[in-house]
Amino acid sequence: MRKFSLMVVLGMVFLSIIGVANQKLIINSYMSDPAPRKVFAELVNQFKALHPDYDVTVNTFAHEDFKTLLRTWLNSSNAPDVVTWFAGERMRYFASKGLLEPLDDVFKDNFELYFPAAFKSASEYNGHIYFVPLSWYWWGVYYRKSIFEKLGLKVPITWWQFKETCEKLKKAGYIPITIGTKYLWTAAGWFDYLDMRINGLDYHMKLTAGKIPYTDEGVKKVFEYWKQLIDAGYFISNHTSYSWQEAANFLFTGKAAMYLMGQFIRDVAPKDVVNDLGFFRFPIINGNVGLYEDTPIDGFMIPARASHKDAAKVFLKFIASKEAQEFFASHLGRLAANKSVPAPDLSARKGLDMILKSDGVMQFYDRDTNPQMATAGMNAFVEFMVYPDRVNSILKNLEMQRERIYKIHK
Amino acid sequence: MKKILFHAFAIILVTVWLFPFMVTLFTSFKTMDNLMTSRSWWLPPKVWHTENYLKAWKDANMSRYFLNTFIITIPAVLGTLFLSSLGAFALSWYRFKFSKVILMIFVGGMLVPFQMLLIPVYRLSIQLGIYNTYWGVILFHIAFQIGFCTFFLRNFMKTIPASIFDAAMIDGAKHFTIYSKIVLPLTVPALAALGILEFTWIWNDYLWSLILIQSDKYKPITLGLATLQGEWVTQWNTMAAGSIIAAVVPLVVFLMFQRYFIEGLTAGSVKG
Amino acid sequence: MRGKWWVPYAFLAPPLVMYSIWVLLPIFQTLYLSFTNWDGVSPSINFVGLSNFKRLFEDPYFVTSLWNNVKWLVGFTMISVPGGLGIAMFLNQKFTGSKVYKVLMYLPMTLSFVVIGQMWSWILEPQGALNSFLNLFGIHEIGWLSDPDIVTYSLIMAALWRQIPYAMVIFLAGLNQVPSELVEAAYVDGANSWQRFFHVILPMLRPATVVAITVNIIDSLRAFDIVYVMTRGGPFYSSSVMANYMYIQAFNNYQMGYGAAIAVIQFLITLGFIVIYMRNVLRREEA
């Protein structure tokens, strides 16, 4: 607490020196689902209480719109002062174009005072910090405990058990796996996990870095395993017309039993269902390959063209504080990025435990891949889910895209 | 007998045609539970729940979007009418070398695919500092609609008898006075028809606000509604109420002035 | 009207200047950008010659988009034009109350595509109104918006909902121009309704038909809103049209140069029809 008040005092002093009253601070946020939206608004209120001099405006955008609009904002002369974003390649892309403000004066030397050392590489580009993590979470196969209980199913550990579980669910009249691929990225979760379980993390990271052809035997194998589930009819039909939330509804209403999803699925679950939602680690496919996980980090950045950078930095310092991180994480059941905040609840402890016991982590396919390649890749995954037999032509086209994007000349 | 057949068939036609509209209207008055359990979209709700409208209006920010649309649409329509009436006056009553060429440029420009303009207009707005302001959209709408409106008003002004001008010229009236005191008052019916038409078009625009506006503070209702699709994706009833709110103003304007609307559309017969 | 030579130019200056800045110049700028690889971010713009255009025709998603525009074009001309004509003929009969039906039919024209898209998505949802209705007859769930082979037709159907009334307006206006004496004369000659329609009315509707067809073609080639609102061109671009693909490339993928090239192709295809339309206008001028 002392550190925190010190920070507040410092912030005040800083303000009085430059002598601004009622500085504006404009934050653009993608937290559009009701639960995170509310928690973030409260967090901003806490900031306002500490810094009454700031005139804070939060603009909220639907998640999918936000992703496409961010580039426009970063380029415009009246860019927002703070934006929510993702760590890793998706942040670096903008940093490399000079569109982000380095945060070295705030976090250069004390980044590790706040956050685990492992987060540093995901937050920097060329040795400069550009990103302040707020929270992180895990991915897992979410399932309805009550359905599993009713059918006497145990949580599957291996691929073979997983398929058996799907088969039993299907026979009992449930949709084994729900997914909404209208906005593509949900399919990338499947690709990540299958590739990590079959080929391991090194291979997967090379692939997302554009160093492995999509026509490689290893990649083909991923699609063979994926095809087993598709051909057996375990995925929900017409998934291309659902957003991830609409697909989650099938899980919440008890028509579907499982959903490979990030922890934030709890944000949209109705109250009476939340406690019936459990999750398990994505099944093991090859016993010789380590257990790797997707652990995306969410946070904030400051556009290079922001007009109120000082205010923005004060805000980011507040965001990094233990109090702010604890508040946000505990209300949403996520893991705080600040290392002095413990996991907020049982489910989060279980998630943290799973990550700590894993052999390595990555962000997410579209956070570790060049954005153009990611779009092409995710479209291809969805196309494959609809037309599994076209796998060869899909991968060939994807490889053509990779060669163009990474300027590989044969 | 023929009469009955006509009415029977017409009623079937209209009912089928307005089916999507009715589904939306009914949905906007139902509860989510009701929608999830019964898939009878076409049945009216047993109890009419008006709270969805309140939710859309307040929680989903439709009130702000609603106001923004007026702030954008009204100056855009007035500006377009004013500027194009100037152009139309010149093109209808003066003989000069390039008059036909200029007319054709106006006609051709309104048929160009919007995609040809997107990137440069977006860049221009950023350079002028009007990106993400009301002015960015308003000025674009004015400029873009000038083509059609000039063409439309010019055709109308051509029908004004020449004798009126001659009389005015003899009285020694200035050119601008003739425009403002004689021609404009005579053009009022055409301006009204055009105004109604332009009002609905600009009200319903989506693409240009998508390109030129980012803040909730300035979003018009179409863009706002599309934003809600992302946020309230599973709340069909709230979305339906939002859709009805977005539709209500052009609908009322149309029903009140439908004669003008149709006249404008047929006289123009160019775009929609 | 007489006056100094510059008088008309003085009147034209304000509208023409605005029109040039926001409409005419951008057309040339887009042409220019289509030969570059500008990414919307970098300050420098590199000239890359024709490579954007070369890439377009190797890009399967662009080819799909182009092909889908052809489907839109066929749908609009083959359904909207005769459909609009048919409904116009039908509602043009002089019964009391026919005006009310006309007004009701016009309603879709007053709605924004965003609203239309939203309305139709409840019809076409997997559990939506249409499937629920078909289910009563034991027809299994159809993926109106999720099946790549169907989705474009579903979107065209939603667009036609608004486009047919528009064609109807054009034809109703055309029918007003047909003198009723002519039709009556045909009665006296003993022509039956079909003969009357084909030999008397249809020839008189020629100008309206030309307008309806060109307008529909131009609209079909610039379809955007409904595709973007309902599917964003998905699944995997199977319902994409050129306008929508251009937007995605330019503003989502930030390949401004490539996006500009798509716009140029779209423009060139439309140009032919714009010329036809303008010649029509000119001819009316001279008459």
**Subunits close to A (at least 3 CB pairs below 8 A):** B, C
Tokens 């946070």 correspond to A299
Region of B224 (left: φ > 0; alpha: ψ -120 to 50; beta: rest) is alpha
Interface test with B, best of A59, A69, A183 (most B CBs within 10 A): A59
Low-confidence winner among A59-68, C23-32, C164-173 (lowest mean pLDDT): A59-68
Q: How far is C140 from chain B (nearest CA, A)?
A: 14
Instruction: Name the residue ranges covered by the structural domains of chain A.
Output: 2-136+296-351, 139-294+370-405
User: What is the domain-level CATH number for residue B261?
Assistant: 1.10.3720.10
**Residue A267: predicted pLDDT:** 87
Contact A239 C146 (CB under 8 A): yes
Band of residue B1 on the pLDDT scale cut at 50, 70, 90 = confident
**Identical fold, A2-136+296-351 and A139-294+370-405:** yes
Of C18, C40, C119, the CB nearest to B243: C119
Across the interface, do A241 and C125 touch by the CB < 8 Å criterion?
A: yes
DSSP state of A289: S
- pLDDT category of residue A17 using cuts at 50, 70 and 90: low
Residue-wise pLDDT for A282-340, tens only, equals 999 999 999 999 999 999 999 999 999 999 999 999 999 999 999 999 999 889 999 88
Cα torsion B23, B24, B28, B29: sign: negative
Task: Tell whether B132 and B255 lie within a shared domain.
Answer: yes
Contacts of A380 in chain C (CB under 8 A): 236
- Assign B268 a pLDDT band (cuts: 50, 70, 90): low
C222 touches chain B (CB under 8 A): yes
Residue B270 has pLDDT above 50, yes or no: no
All residues of chain B having their beta carbon less than 8 Å from the beta carbon of residue A32 are: 230-231
For domain A2-136+296-351, the CATH architecture is: 3-Layer(aba) Sandwich (3.40)
User: Of A54-68, B5-19, B63-77, which range is least confident?
Assistant: A54-68
Instruction: Determine whether the interchain pair B115/C108 forms a contact, defined as Cβ–Cβ distance below 8 Å.
Output: no
Tell me which chain A residue has its CA closest to the CA of residue C235.
A240
Chain A residues with CB under 8 Å of C236 CB are 240, 379-380, 382-383, 386
Inter-chain Cβ pairs, chain A and chain B, closer than 8 A:
47
Q: Are residues B262 and B209 in the same domain?
A: yes
Nearest-CA residue of chain A relative to B123? Answer: A76
Q: Which residue in the set A99, A238, A387 is minimally distant from C41, CB to CB?
A: A99
C-alpha distance from C223 to closest chain A C-alpha (Å): 20
CB C283 within 8 A of CB B100: no
CA of C126: which chain A residue's CA is closest? A238
N- to C-terminal Cα distance for chain C? 21
pLDDT band at B94 (very low <50, low <70, confident <90, very high): confident
- For chain A, give the percent of residues with pLDDT over 70: 94
Query: Is A167 at the interface with chain B, CB within 8 A?
Result: no
Cβ of residue C210 closer than 8 Å to a chain B Cβ: no
Find the mean pLDDT for residues A62-73. 81
Mean pLDDT of the region B19-33: 92
pLDDT of residue A40: 95
User: Minimal Cα distance from C122: which residue of A?
Assistant: A241
- A10 pLDDT band, cuts 50/70/90, is low
Of the pLDDT bands very low, low, confident and very high (cuts 50, 70, 90), residue B271 is very low
Q: What is the mean pLDDT of chain C?
A: 90
Min Cα distance A285 → chain B (Å) is 35
Residues on chain C touching B105 (C-beta within 8 angstroms): 19, 24
Q: How many domains does chain B have?
A: 2
Cβ contacts from A onto C, under 8 A: 63
B-C C-beta contacts closer than 8 Å: 288
Q: Residue B247: name the closest of B32, B91, B18 by CA.
A: B18
Q: Tell me the mean pLDDT in the region A272-278.
A: 92
C2 or B90: which leads in pLDDT: B90
Binary contact (C263, B165; C-beta < 8 A): no
Say yes or no for a CB contact (<8 Å) between A268 and B234: yes
SS3 call for C272? helix
Residues B93-103: what's their mean pLDDT?
88
The distance of B221 to chain A (nearest Cα, Å) reads 15
Q: Is A241 on the interface with B (CB under 8 A)?
A: no
Q: Which of A93-102, A228-237, C168-177, C226-235 has the highest mean pLDDT?
A: A228-237
At residue A2, the pLDDT reads 54
Alpha-carbon separation of residue C152 from A380, C48, C133, C157 (angstroms)? 19, 33, 21, 9
Owning domain of residue B120: 57-268
Domain match, B207 and B232 both: yes
Mean local confidence (pLDDT), C17-37: 95
Q: Is C64 on the interface with A (CB under 8 A)?
A: no
pLDDT exceeds 90 at position A371: no
Are B87 and B147 within one domain? Answer: yes
Contacts of C253 in chain A (CB under 8 A): 371-372, 375
Residue type, B176: F
Tokens at C160, concatenated: 């036609």
From chain B, the residues in CB contact with A268 under 8 A are: 234
What percentage of chain C has pLDDT greater than the value 70?
Answer: 98
| pLDDT of the residue at B272 | 32
Q: Do A59 and B233 touch (CB under 8 A)?
A: no
Distance from CA of C202 to the nearest CA of B (A): 18
Quick one: average pLDDT of A139-145? 96
Are B203 and C260 a contacting pair at CB < 8 A?
no
Confidence grade of residue A247 (pLDDT, cut at 50, 70, 90): very high
d(CA C223, CA C242): 8
Min Cα distance A156 → chain B (Å) is 30
Q: Is the pLDDT of residue C175 over 60?
A: yes
Average pLDDT for B196-209: 93
Mean pLDDT of chain A: 90
**Range B185-195 average pLDDT:** 91
- HEC sequence for chain B: CHHHHHHHHHHHHHHHHCHHHHHHHHHCCCCHHHHHHCCCCCCCCCCCCCHHHHHHHHHCCHHHHHHHHHHHHHHHHHHHHHHHHHHHHHHHHCCCCCHHHHHHHHHHHCCCCCHHHHHHHHHHHHHHCCCCCHHHHHHHHHHHHHHHHHHHHHHHHCCCCHHHHHHHHHCCCCHHHHHHHHHHHHHHHHHHHHHHHHHHHHHHCCHHHHHHCCCCCCCCHHHHHHHHHHHCCCCHHHHHHHHHHHHHHHHHHHHHCHHHHHHHHHHHCCCC
| Residue-range domains of chain C with CATH | 65-242 (1.10.3720.10)
Q: Which burial class, exposed, middle or buried, applies to A30 when counting CB atoms under 10 A from its CB (0-12, 13-18, 19+)? A: buried
Answer whether C128 sits within 8 Å of B179, measured CB to CB. no
The alpha carbon of residue C91 is apart from the nearest alpha carbon of chain A, in Å, by: 37
Assess whether pLDDT exceeds 90 at residue B177.
no
- At A5, the pLDDT band (50, 70, 90 cuts) reads low
- Both structure tokens of B246: 């977005």
Peptide bond into C235 cis (omega under 30): yes
C-contacting chains (≥3 CB pairs under 8 Å): A, B
* Residues B194 and B104 grouped into a single domain: yes
User: How far B219 CA sits from the closest chain C CA (Å)?
Assistant: 14
Closest chain B C-alpha to A247 CA, distance in angstroms: 10
Closest-CA residue of A relative to C125 is A241
Q: Give yes or no: residues B259 and B138 share one domain.
A: yes
Subunits in contact with chain B (3 or more CB pairs closer than 8 Å): A, C
Tell me whether strands A54-60 and A360-362 are parallel, antiparallel or unpaired.
unpaired
Check A59 against B215: CB less than 8 A apart.
yes
Task: Please state which CATH number belongs to domain A139-294+370-405.
Answer: 3.40.190.10
Amino acid at C145: L
Asked if residue A191 has pLDDT above 70, the reply is: yes
Q: How far is A261 from chain B (nearest CA, A)?
A: 17
Residue A241: list chain B partners with CB under 8 A.
Answer: none
Q: What is the mean pLDDT of residues B130-148?
A: 94
Model confidence at A60: pLDDT above 50: yes
The pLDDT value recorded for residue B165 is: 72
Same domain, B40 and B152: no
- Residues from chain C that touch B18, judged by Cβ atoms under 8 A, are 104, 107
Interface of C with B in 244-263 (CB under 8 A): 246-247, 250-251, 256, 259-260, 262-263
Chain A 76-135, CB below 8 Å of chain B: which residues? 76-78
Output the CA angle C19-C24-C29, nearest 5 degrees: 135
Q: Which residues of C are less than 8 Å from A375 in CB distance?
A: 252-253
Question: With contacts defined as CB-CB under 8 Å, which chain C residues touch B139?
Answer: 18, 22
Which two tokens mark C112? Answer: 């924004």
